[in-house]
Amino acid sequence: MTDEKSAWMKWNHTKKRKKLTDTLEITNNLFFEKLSIPEIAKKRHFKLQTIEYQIIELITLGYIYLGDVVEDSLAHQILDTFEHQVPESLKEIKEKLPEDITYFQIKCVLASINNQPDSIHD
């Protein structure tokens, strides 16, 4: 989580983005005000899972960078579960990881995969 923009971030900022709904816009703004996910949930009077879902959607849409939510080493650990074969379910991924890695972190990594360029020409 450095201040320098990665190649992914530079690519991502050049993409044409889908306009956010009002509720996603509020969550996005609060996230970039450096509020934690539990703080955002409390401030918005939403369940924690609702805010987590919105964060995952914001990652998918390219508004939030994975590294702002999940440590790089943890993301790589999650991605390593795909090394030999593609898991069939979230549960299968979770079972291959240490207990302290959450389903939310796994979903964030998967959301970021969906927001990657397919090739250097994209």
> Using one digit for the tens of pLDDT, what is the confidence trace for 30-70?
999 999 999 999 999 999 999 999 999 999 999 999 999 99
Q: Render pLDDT for 60-108 as a digit per residue (tens, 0 to 9).
A: 999 999 999 999 999 999 998 877 777 888 999 999 999 999 999 999 9
Is residue 12 in a domain?
no
Is residue 121 in a domain?
no
Is residue 86 in a domain?
yes
Is residue 98 in a domain?
yes
Global pTM? Answer: 0.78
Domain that holds residue 30: 22-113
Is residue 44 in a domain?
yes
Instruction: Give me the residue label for tokens 């964030």.
Output: 108
CA-nearest of 56, 94, 114 to 48 is 56
CA 23 to chain centre: 17
When divided into structural domains, the chain yields a total of 1
Is residue 118 in a domain?
no
Residue 69: give its domain's CATH number: 1.10.10
